[in-house]
Chains A and B, each alone.
Chain A
Amino acid sequence: MEIAKRSFDAVIVGGGGAGLRAALQLAKVELRVAVVSKVFPTRSHTVSAQGGITAALGNVTEDNWHWHMYDTVKGSDYLGDQDAIEYMCRNAAQVVYELEHYGLPFSRLPNGKIYQRAFGGQSQNYGGPQATRTCGAADRTGHALLHTLYQRNIQAKTHFFDEYFAFDLVKDQQGNVLGVVVLEIETGEPIFIQASAVLLATGGAGRIYQTTSNALINTGDGLGMALRAGIPLQDMEFWQFHPTGIAGAGVLITEGVRGENGYLINKDGERFMERYASHAKDLAGRDVVARAIAVEIHEGRGCGKEGNYVLLKLDHLGPEIIKSRLPGIRELAIKFAHIDPIEEPIPVVPTCHYMMGGIPTNLHGQVVVPGTNGEEPLPGLYAIGECACVSVHGANRLGGNSLLDLVIFGRAAGNHILDYLAKERPEVTLPKDALEPARQRLARWDKKGQGEHINDIREELRRVMQAHCGVFRTQAVLEQGIKKMRQLAERLQHAVLRDQSKIFNTARVEALELENMVEVALASVISAEARKESRGAHARDDYPERDDRVWLKHSLYFKEGDRMDYKPVRLKPLTVEPFQPKVRVY
């Protein structure tokens, strides 16, 4: 099998918000930049983001980025790196204005400024009254953002490889990154895309859970590529369960509903969040609200015949507010829950939503690994967005901070790549057998004969993760989870594809995706077993307290030897005083 070759200055893997924002930074200065996406870019999962993008514009309530930073550090349960968080919050207003200038159709306030709504975990004056900080385009902000960035890339003449599936990084013996191998889905042909800089922006991996808000494409492809290239994954035990996924369907209902004064009730009609977070109530951190719902259900106060959900009430907002500010979720509730929220409350349950962990990077988006002198960047390799862990979200992400993360670090990585290409541009040659691992990975799925279907293994994986690495965790349950995941990894070795054709073979793509899902699931459950404390989204019944003395540190999982390592949290911001860890109360 000959592998054709293409050459670019930079290749970006992933056409969601992060990848497109980075691509724009490069294409604007006429670098040859390729964006590889396994779907047409506007099908990326950014499109599903609803409520908004957080920035302290102060259009509604008095605000400044220091308060946003405090909230983000507190929201992260102090696991977030304060230098990266400062960088993100300080530049937030500027990148939001940029998006507006690009044409993003933000909703507007009567004075013509960008509309902002309240979101969970937001406060004024370091823990004071609720802030109103999340900028929205109705409740379709992700759609508006993704389409706007795609449109600007058309204008900038970015080169798109639509429906090409990237499946392996290529490095030389010195560890220099040389490019990626991709599969042209339409023809089934592999292509080597050579580039001096490779940026991974492949998004999350929420499909490893059975109940998830994530798109079917969120299979952790960049994470699998990183692990196979010897790069560790950071903080993989931290998975956000969003409090309000539609029961049964998993489709998300934005926190913006609660930001617009909607609230949760149990079967007694009680507004139960008052008991769990007396100050912020329904707008406490997502981890706090999700656990509260899980407890209500567990203690028999859930709604419905089986008592397995709670209700999100918003009919009191009135039809005008719902139609103008929450039209998208109304549409989803009607389609997926068969109720019109203007009249009835929506049945909701905690639903896997976001991966706080990912490929470790610094605040330029450079991938960093432990070296002889502490952390060292891998020259030419970058990661941004949900697949990266920079870490601005720590142990729990605040709503509205993920779209912000995408554009902040998309832009930062783009700028750093510009510098890198201008300065270093190392002369590299492709070693003779550098493409061999990729070739073998593809050839493995040409195996014929008897064997399990990939679909059975995938569905089993999702059940195992749901049962063994969910909202509440214990040692025994996690240990069983590791055992079951190892068995599944072994079973995948013997799976066989029934479809061996080349043209638009989506079964082959799903097989390669499943390999990535197995890597991500193993990393998650092994990291979770190792962390013997409760922090943010990682809640252990057997270790219910946060333990800063031992566990105020980031986890690193290495595929080779299934090994854990740790590194310190960066508690020192860039220019301001650090926020010292304290008890987290909402």
Chain B
Amino acid sequence: MRFSVYRYNPETDGKPYMQDYQLDIEAGDKMLLDAILLLKAEDETLSLRRSCREGVCGSDALNINGKNGLACITPLYSLRQPIELRPLPGMPVIRDLVVDLSQFYHQYHSIKPYLINHDPEPEIERLQSPEDRAQLDGLYECILCACCSTACPSFWWNPDKFVGPAGLLQAYRFIADTRDQATNERLSDLEDPYRLFRCHSIMNCVDVCPKGLNPTKAIGKIKSLLVKRTV
């Protein structure tokens, strides 16, 4: 199998380049990460992040043949060759396939991603109906892999000011939680030409999400709550 991989080591390389690799393997049941680890066994200098190798930790998000995805759950047989691997777009590259996600995390932190409830804590659980809990499905499963935000042109342009799809999905996860009491503050925080309204619903985020989540829909719900609040 043939691979073309983005390489850049700031200590030795003046600028990034694409390196070709060959692997003598059958695609079979293998995932892309299996192949990358075989490449790394041959060439230790290739750097990438990886952890769970089953699509739940979000470490190995890459740009794979032009589309963001997780290497560990992308079947090799599904990829046209040479398989072109690049770091997530729009973020500063630290080395090879490793990008600096500081701005991504910063935006996630900025939406106060934690439950806010000012009532005294009961001695047992707070009650929540299965229907109310179902409102969180499709939201809480986010693994912070950054596939969505780094596929979003609005985030490329304004990563410092636009929260981005991942952060907004989580903002709505707390707005939608019947146990959370900060809906108004959360909406006010997002009522901003940049933080929320840079989303132009081009849906790249939905297209790439490896967990099948829909940030655009969540963003739409935030927008309609804002409209409802003003009328």
Q: Which residues of A contact B (CB under 8 A)?
A: 39-40, 42-45, 47-48, 57, 96-97, 100-103, 105-114, 137, 140, 143-144, 147, 151-152, 154-155, 186, 215-217, 248-249, 251, 328, 331-332, 335-336, 338, 453-455, 497-499, 501-507
Alpha-carbon gap, A97 to B112, bound state (A): 22
Decide yes or no: A453 and B41 within 8 Å by CB, A48-B56, A103-B179, A502-B11 being known contacts.
Answer: yes
A294 to chain B, nearest CB (A): 23
Contact indicator A43/B58 (Cβ below 8 Å): yes
Structural contact, B123 and A97, CB atoms closer than 8 A:
yes
Decide: B12 and A501 in contact? CB cutoff 8 A: yes
Q: Which of A97, A105, A110 contacts B140 (CB 8 A)?
A: A105
Asked if residues A42 and B143 are in contact (CB atoms below 8 Å), the reply is yes
Please state if B109 and A503 are interface contacts (CB–CB under 8 Å).
no
A455 to B46, CA, bound (A): 13
Partner pick for B59 among A39, A48, A111, CB 8 A cutoff: A39
20 contacts between A and B (CB under 8 A): A40-B101, A42-B143, A48-B54, A48-B56, A48-B57, A100-B125, A106-B133, A109-B130, A140-B56, A151-B113, A216-B51, A251-B54, A328-B56, A499-B45, A501-B12, A503-B10, A503-B11, A504-B94, A506-B49, A507-B45
State whether B114 touches A155 (Cβ < 8 A).
yes
- Which A residues are in CB contact (< 8 Å) with B140? 105, 137, 144, 147
Note all chain B residues with C-beta closer than 8 A to A505.
47
Is the Cβ of A43 less than 8 Å from the Cβ of B94? no
Cβ contacts under 8 Å, A40 to chain B:
59, 101, 105, 144
Closest chain-A Cβ to B120's Cβ sits at a distance in Å of: 10
Asked if A112 and B129 make an inter-chain contact with CB atoms under 8 angstroms apart, the answer reads yes
B57 touches A112 (CB 8 A): no
Q: Tell me if B51 and A215 are in contact (CB < 8 A).
A: yes
- The reply to whether B143 and A504 form a contact with Cβ atoms under 8 Å apart is no
Among residues of A, the one whose C-beta sits closest to the C-beta of B109 is A154
Closest to A152 in B: B114
Residues of B within 8 Å of A332, CB to CB, are 54-55
> In the bound complex, what is the Cα–Cα distance between A328 and B54 (angstroms)?
11
Residues from chain B with Cβ under 8 Å of A113 in the complex: 124-125, 127
CA separation between A48 and B112, bound complex, in Å?
24
Check if B53 is an interface residue, CB within 8 A of chain A. yes
Q: Which residues of A contact B54 (CB under 8 A)?
A: 48, 249, 251, 332, 336
Nearest CB of chain B from residue A62's CB, rounded to whole Å: 16
Q: Which chain A residue shows the least CB distance to B33? A: A216
Partner among A43, A108, A144, A501 whose Cβ is within 8 Å of the Cβ of B11: A501
Q: How far is the CB of A460 from chain B (nearest CB, A)?
A: 12
Q: Which of B48-103 contact A (CB under 8 A)?
A: 48-59, 73, 75, 94-96, 98, 101
B51 contacts A39, CB within 8 Å? yes
Q: Is A45 a contact partner of B52 (Cβ separation < 8 A)?
A: yes
Contacts of B201 on A, CB cut-off 8 Å? none
Given A43-B52, A110-B130, do A453 and B44 touch, yes or no (CB 8 Å)? Answer: yes
Answer yes or no: B185 CB below 8 A from chain A CBs. Answer: no
The 10 closest A-B pairs by CB, nearest first: A103-B115, A112-B127, A507-B44, A151-B114, A43-B57, A455-B41, A504-B95, A100-B125, A499-B45, A499-B44
Q: Are B51 and A45 in contact (CB under 8 A)?
A: yes
Which of A108, A143, A186 sits near B94, CB closer than 8 Å? A186
Known: A42-B58, A112-B129, A498-B45. 12 other contacts (CB 8 A): A39-B59, A43-B58, A97-B125, A108-B132, A108-B133, A110-B129, A143-B56, A143-B141, A151-B115, A155-B112, A251-B53, A499-B44
**B128 CB-CB contact with A under 8 Å:** yes
Is there an interface contact between B94 and A503, defined as CB atoms closer than 8 Å? yes
Task: Tell me whether A43 and B51 are in contact in the complex, defined as CB-CB below 8 angstroms, given that A108-B130, A498-B45, A501-B45 are known contacts.
Answer: yes
Report the Cα distance A106→B188, complex, angstroms.
Answer: 28
Q: Give the complex CA separation of A454 and B174 in angstroms.
A: 45
Partner of B52, one of A48, A331, A498: A48
How distant is A188 from chain B, measured CB to nearest CB, in Å?
Answer: 9
Q: Which residues of B contact A97 (CB under 8 A)?
A: 121-125
Chain B residue numbers with a CB within 8 Å of A144 are 140
Interface centre among A152, A248, A497, A503 (most CB of B within 10 A): A503
Query: Which chain B positions have C-beta within 8 A of A106?
Result: 125, 133
Q: Dominant SS at the B interface? A: loop
Shortest A186–chain B CB gap in Å is: 6
Taking a contact as CB atoms under 8 Å apart, the answer to whether B51 and A114 are in contact is no
- Closest Cβ of chain B: how far from A504's Cβ, in Å? 4
Task: Report the Cα distance A191→B94, complex, angstroms.
Answer: 20
A209 to B136 alpha-carbon distance, docked (Å): 37
C-alpha gap A529/B44 in the complex (Å)? 35
Task: For residue A496, give the distance in angstroms from its CB to the closest CB of chain B.
Answer: 10
Chain B residues with CB under 8 Å of A503's CB are 9-11, 94-95
B29 within 8 Å of A (CB atoms): yes
Provided the pairs A47-B52, A503-B95 are in contact, do residues A103 and B125 lie with their beta carbons within 8 angstroms?
Answer: no
Q: Give the distance to chain B from A3, nearest Cβ to Cβ, in Å.
A: 20
Distance (whole angstroms) from the CB of B141 to the closest CB of chain A: 6
* Cβ contacts under 8 Å, B98 to chain A: 504
Taking CB atoms, residues of chain A closer than 8 Å to B207 are none
Residues of B within 8 A of A143 (CB): 56, 141, 143
Question: What is the bound-complex CA distance between A110 and B122, given in angstroms?
Answer: 19
- Taking the closest CB of chain A, its distance from the CB of B30, in whole angstroms, is 10
Give the Cβ gap from A101 to chain B, nearest Cβ, in Å.
5
Q: Determine if B55 and A335 form an interchain contact, defined as CB atoms under 8 angstroms apart.
A: yes
> Which of B29, B129, B130 is packed against the most chain A CB atoms within 10 Å?
B130
Let me know if B15 is at the binding interface, CB within 8 A.
no
Give Cα A332 to B73, complex, Å. Answer: 9
Least Cβ distance of B180 to chain A in Å? 8
Contact check, B58 vs A140: say whether CB atoms are below 8 A apart: no
**Complex formed: what's the CA distance from A217 to B54 in Å?**
13
Contact residues of B between 1 and 54, Cβ < 8 Å to A? 9-12, 29, 40-41, 43-45, 47-54
A502 cross-chain contacts in B, Cβ below 8 A: 11
Q: Which residues from chain B contact A107 at a C-beta distance below 8 Å?
A: 130, 133
How distant is A339 from chain B, measured CB to nearest CB, in Å?
12
Cβ contacts under 8 Å, A497 to chain B: 44
